[in-house]
Amino acid sequence: MISPANFIDYLISRGIAAFFGVPDSLLAEFCKELDHHSCRHIITANEGNAVATAIGHHLGTGGYAAVYMQNSGLGNAINPLVSLAAPEIYGIGTLLIIGWRGEPGVKDEPQHLLQGQITIDLLETMRIPFVILTADSNLTETVSPILDQLKKGPAAIIVKKNCFAPASVLPEKDSEPDLPTRERTIELLLDHTQPTDLLVSTTGKASRELFELRVKRGESQRDFLTVGGMGHASSIALGLALSRPRNRVFCLDGDGAMLMHLGALATISCTARPENFVYIMLNNGVHESVGGQPTSAPRIDTRRLAESMNFKHYFKTDSETAMQQCFSSLNSLTGPVFIEAPIKPGSRKNLGRPTSTPAENKAELMRFIDEQTV
């Protein structure tokens, strides 16, 4: 396996002076090492932001930056890559480091399978040269040729599963915040929802916990589990709320997902303004599902954000009592409502994954809606 420290040091020795990106589980050890390295490193809201920041770095220094991402993030990165950085436009070298989720022949979750199959095709279509990095790769032999391509424009390193060895840094032991868990927060919400309410949950552990809570409570699976498309759960919930005005719609989002496509909240609260919409931001301050790297959410004044976007009501719940009071009051309020729910990072070690397929999940939700008599 490749030492992430050696990998970073090698890139720096070859002129990569900065690192920008969105964390990925396949790149978790690489990201941990970056967090403690002396190089310039910024976690961005989405992958397109990272590419644009790398472009700015090149303009200011003449040097190159690396942009890391999960392959699902290529969708966010395509526009700045092909309309700005490409050789046919500005010709700005950007090194893409891409975690290969859903690699053909490697078992993975359903939301990654198609993306894994087309990752190489996407890079070839965008005319971005690439190499594939494995645990046995020789850095000089594998990576050096692709770095030479940066003089022309973007180039990529596709990273296979189990490529990196554990980071050389020890994990920080922060004091455990005295906050509810995400699972307990979702459970309390379910205690206060109505039979006709519709729930949309963001990608990651929130959807996994919601699924298992329905099983635990003996309730039908009638929620939309957004297993992919990070940052888009709020827009899915908006479309659902607009099409089902007599059903109350809850969006369970994460802080990292909210930041990824923050403009969606402005569409919800300033343009569409559905009265049946409740947005709940589960704020643990980290990208938990891919390694626990920090987000910028803890440094944002979320109340002012919600108020500036014209949400009708804002609540912050930092205890079970506050949550129960907040959820109980929703029946008498019209939306859009913004709820910030600070939670502690972490989840049950035995947390499973949905046992139904995404297609089955969609069918159950639509069947539930069809049966509504409201």
Here the tokens at position 258 are 């909210």
> How far apart are alpha carbons 69 and 50 in whole angstroms?
9
CATH superfamily of 4-159: Thiamin diphosphate (ThDP)-binding fold, Pyr/PP domains (3.40.50.970)
Here the tokens at position 209 are 């916990």
Of 217, 311, 212, 304, residue with least CA distance to 264:
311
Confidence (pLDDT) at 174: 55
Q: What is the mean pLDDT of the chain?
A: 93
Mean of pLDDT values over 309-320: 94
Which residues, including other chains, have CB under 8 Å from residue 175's CB and lie 6 or more apart? none
The residues that bridge with 21 in the sheet, in sequence order, are 43, 68
> What distances in angstroms separate CA 261 from CA 38, 71, 373, one per listed residue?
29, 17, 34
Place of tokens 């129960």: 324
In the chain, the DSSP E strands lie at 16-21, 40-43, 64-70, 95-99, 130-133, 155-159, 198-201, 224-225, 249-254, 277-283, 286-287, 293-294, 313-316, 337-342
Confidence (pLDDT) at 177: 67
Confidence (pTM) = 0.89
Do the beta carbons of residue 268 and residue 327 sit within 8 Å?
Answer: no
Given a cut of 90, whether residue 288 has pLDDT beyond it is no
Confidence (pLDDT) at 173: 55
Q: Alpha-carbon torsion 1, 288, 179, 321, what sign?
A: negative
Q: Is 367 exposed, middle or buried (0-12, 13-18, 19+ CB in 10 A)?
A: exposed
Residue 151 has a CB neighbour count (10 Å cut-off) of 11
**Shared fold status for 4-159 and 182-370:** yes
Given a cut of 60, whether residue 175 has pLDDT beyond it is no
- Domain borders along the chain are 4-159, 182-370
> How far apart are alpha carbons 288 and 266 in whole angstroms?
25
We find that the CATH architecture of domain 182-370 is 3-Layer(aba) Sandwich (3.40)
Which residues, including other chains, have CB under 8 Å from residue 367's CB and lie 6 or more apart? none
Which tens digits make up the pLDDT trace of 12-33? 999 998 999 999 999 999 999 9
